[in-house]
């Protein structure tokens, strides 16, 4: 399949998805298609429901209403075995790198290979070296997470995310806590990996620098609803007031923190 054909086929399809926490609707009737091979960004304020949406797409959470189809399989309804099979095609990169401090860089990247395959140690070794060189970390195999910088730890978690050659990689706030330059390097790496390895990337972020640098398409979430979906260009030029307030960081506009019942800790991402 050519990249062009690939980009017209939905690999992830959400239809009328709603999720409740303690009776409160947190995700509200979301329908969304993410196409094969694209880098899709989900942006929105803290507490808007971005991570919840990601957890619904990865089957960590199941919605009360609607369907979440991955390559045509509804993971909102399938059994645990079927879900495990679908999830083998996923890579996940979490907000705080989530590396195990007691394991070396090499052992951290090898974890999914040990868990999900029966590959021999020497093969795992070759794959780990290959993945580490893809993220520019050849030679760091035997370092511990505490011996490398925050940006490098993030790259180790990227290498671990692509260890099983996934079709889809989900990233939750991949540049949070990084300085702008290291954040920029991480963004470029996400984009390069997506293009070189033909991976579909779904990236949750509130980092505007990332959005326009790497997105093919962007969705904006506000209070659990999708308020806009479009190409980077369409979003940049959108006349949607929520989008304009968010991308320009305006303190006033339809997103009114102080008029709404909001949790101050969420606003500041605490
Ligand atoms: N497991 C949970 N139980 C109860 N409430 C939750 C849970 N996860 C998220 N929430 C609530 O759902 C809303 C959206 O959270 P989240 O998806 O983490 O937002 P974001 O990632 O955009 O910051 C928040 O109000 C949060 O407190
Ligand atoms: Mg979040």
What is the domain-level CATH number for residue 34?
A: 3.40.50.300
Asked if residue 265 has pLDDT above 60, the reply is: no
pLDDT value at residue 238: 93
Categorize the per-residue pLDDT at 251 as very low, low, confident or very high, splitting at 50, 70 and 90. confident
How far does Cα 238 stand from its chain's mean position? Answer: 23
Q: Is residue 157 part of a domain?
A: no
Categorize the per-residue pLDDT at 81 as very low, low, confident or very high, splitting at 50, 70 and 90. very high
Q: Provide the residue range defining the domain that includes 238.
A: 3-89+166-267
Place of tokens 């290498």: 159
What is the reported pTM?
0.90
Length of the chain: 270
Q: Is residue 182 part of a domain?
A: yes
Domain count, the chain: 1
Q: Is residue 34 part of a domain?
A: yes
Place of tokens 């959108």: 238
Measured distance CA(72)–CA(20) in Å, rounded: 24
CA of 52 to the centre of ligand 1 (A): 6
pLDDT in tens, 146-195: 999 988 998 999 999 999 999 999 999 988 888 888 888 889 989 988 98
CA of 27 to the centre of ligand 2 (A): 13
Tokens of 142: 């035997």
Place of tokens 């006033």: 252
Q: Is 205 in the pocket of ligand 1 (CB under 6 A)?
A: no
Residue 206 CA: which ligand 1 atom is closest?
22
Q: Is residue 60 part of a domain?
A: yes
Q: Is residue 15 part of a domain?
A: yes
Q: Is residue 136 part of a domain?
A: no
- Residue bearing the CA closest to ligand 1, atom 18: 51
């Amino acid at each position: 399949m050519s990249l062009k054909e690939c980009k017209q086929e939905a690999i992830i399809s959400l239809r009328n998805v709603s999720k409740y926490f303690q009776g409160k609707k947190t995700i509200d009737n979301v329908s969304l298609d993410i196409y094969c091979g694209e880098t899709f960004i989900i942006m929105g304020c803290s507490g808007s429901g971005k991570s919840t949406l990601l957890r619904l797409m990865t089957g960590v959470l199941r919605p009360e209403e609607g369907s979440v189809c991955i390559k045509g399989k509804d993971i909102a309804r399938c059994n645990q075995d079927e879900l495990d099979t679908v999830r083998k095609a996923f890579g996940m990169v979490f907000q705080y790198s989530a590396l195990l401090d007691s394991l070396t860089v090499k052992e951290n990247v090898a974890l999914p290979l040990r868990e999900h395959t029966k590959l021999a140690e020497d093969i795992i070794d070759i794959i780990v070296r290959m993945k580490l060189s893809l993220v520019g970390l050849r030679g760091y195999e035997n370092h511990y997470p505490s011996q490398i910088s925050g940006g490098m730890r993030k790259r180790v978690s990227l290498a671990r995310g692509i260890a099983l050659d996934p079709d889809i990689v989900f990233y939750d706030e991949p540049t949070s806590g990084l300085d702008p330059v290291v954040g920029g390097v991480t963004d470029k790496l996400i984009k390069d990996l997506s293009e070189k390895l033909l991976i579909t990337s779904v990236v949750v972020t509130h980092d505007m620098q990332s959005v326009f640098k790497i997105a093919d398409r962007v969705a904006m979430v506000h209070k659990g609803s999708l308020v806009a979906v479009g190409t980077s260009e369409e979003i940049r030029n959108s006349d949607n007031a929520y989008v304009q307030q968010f991308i320009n960081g305006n303190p006033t506009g339809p997103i009114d923190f102080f008029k709404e019942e909001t949790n101050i800790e969420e606003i500041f991402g605490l």
